[in-house]
Amino acid sequence: MRHLMSPLDFTPEELDKLFDLANDIENNPAKYAHACDGKILATCFYEPSTRTRLSFESAMIRLGGRVIGFSDAASSSASKGESVSDTIRIISCYADICAMRHPKEGAPMVAGEKSGIPVINAGDGGHQHPTQTLTDLLTIRSLKGSLGGFTIGLCGDLKFGRTAHSLINALVRYDNIRFIFISPEELRCPDYIIEMLKKKGISYSEVIRLEDVMPELDLLYMTRVQKERFFNEEDYIRLKDFYILDTAKMGLAKEDMLVLHPLPRVNEISVEVDADPRAAYFRQAQYGVYVRMALILTLLELA
């Protein structure tokens, strides 16, 4: 039995196979419409979500399976003090596979140790968000044609942003990637990531102004300043609108640059940018369904 806790749980070769499967699902949905007949997915979300939970549910339903779960810790027995370990033992009696989001780093891993079914980390605190990373990689591979040889700017909250951390960790395995980290001083990429890049000899730079680097980018990965990760509301208010991507800034970018965002957005991408053909974040959300369908099939050994 196999879980997914980090995007690094799959080798680049296994990821290629997963993305091939996702693209096949995209092009031939009818072929997979009954692939999970009789199977049940449990979505155990201790933290809010729109995309991750609903795309998992959509993925399982599109594969012919069914879905159970909770979308809020308060409506589960966690509110009575039940541990994640006990909860997953119970869920293992009811479902064939579980996607779990939790505000505590490592909680899905603890669940995986006690689980009788595959557990997918659907986001744990500020740590990892592996299925968002699979979504991001599939989007880049599908729209850019490959997963190497580009300069990617990651902009916004690089301190707490688990989607950024997961994506950086995954991209370092591909050739000729150059990172440009764009953040205010207070939200810089954590030292452990910078140390990892130095150790691997991977090119990176850190800047504060987005405008200064726009012309260099092949991909711009925008992130939200996350209110829920701040201890101090004053700091959040001071930093929340530090970056706003608008049409003027898009005018500085390459004609084939793509803008990605894990979403939800607040103000960091002006809605006027949505009409720009380089805005790929809604297409990215669609790829999230295909890759989660491919992941469910793979972990259930039905692919």
Q: Which is nearer to ligand CP, 29 or 264 (CB)?
A: 264
Residue 132 is a binding residue for ligand CP (CB under 6 A): yes
Output 74 or 93, the one with its CB closest to ligand CP: 74
Smallest gap, in angstroms, from Cβ of residue 166 to ligand CP? 11
d(Cα 301, Cα 200) in Å, to the nearest integer? Answer: 34
Write down the residue that tokens 């589960």 correspond to: 76
Q: Among residue numbers 45 through 104, which ones bind ligand CP (CB under 6 A)?
A: 49-52
Which range of residues in 23-31, 246-254, 257-265, 268-276 is near ligand CP by CB under 6 A? 257-265
Tell me the per-residue interface mask from 187 to 206 with ligand CP, x by CB under 6 A, - otherwise.
Answer: --------------------
The catalytic residue positions are 51-52, 80, 101, 129
How many residues make contact with ligand CP (CB under 6 A)? 9
Q: Determine the interface stretch with ligand CP among 29-37, 104-112, 113-121, 259-267 (rule: CB under 6 A).
A: 259-267
Quick one: 35 or 120, whose CB is closer to ligand CP? 120
DSSP state of 128: B
Under 8 Å CB-to-CB from 39, ≥6 apart: which residues? 60, 63, 64, 65, 66, 96, 97, 300
Residue list 134-153, contact with ligand CP (CB under 6 A): none
Helices 107-114/84-94 angle, 10° precision: 50
Helices and strands, counts by H and E, the chain: 11, 9
Q: List C-alpha distances in Å: 130 to 25, 63, 119, 123, 191.
A: 20, 21, 12, 7, 20
H-type helices in 95-175, by residue range?
107-114, 130-144, 162-171
* Cβ at position 289, least distance to ligand CP in Å: 12
Footprint (CB under 6 A) of ligand CP, residues 260-279: 262-264
Nearer to ligand CP, 162 or 213 (CB): 162
The span of 44-52, 144-152, 184-192, 235-243 binding ligand CP (CB under 6 A) equals 44-52
Q: What residues have CB less than 8 Å from 197, skipping those under 6 apart?
A: 168, 172, 179, 204
Number of other residues whose CB lies within 10 A of the CB of residue 19: 22
Summarize as ranges the residues that interact with ligand CP (CB under 6 A): 49-52, 123, 132, 262-264
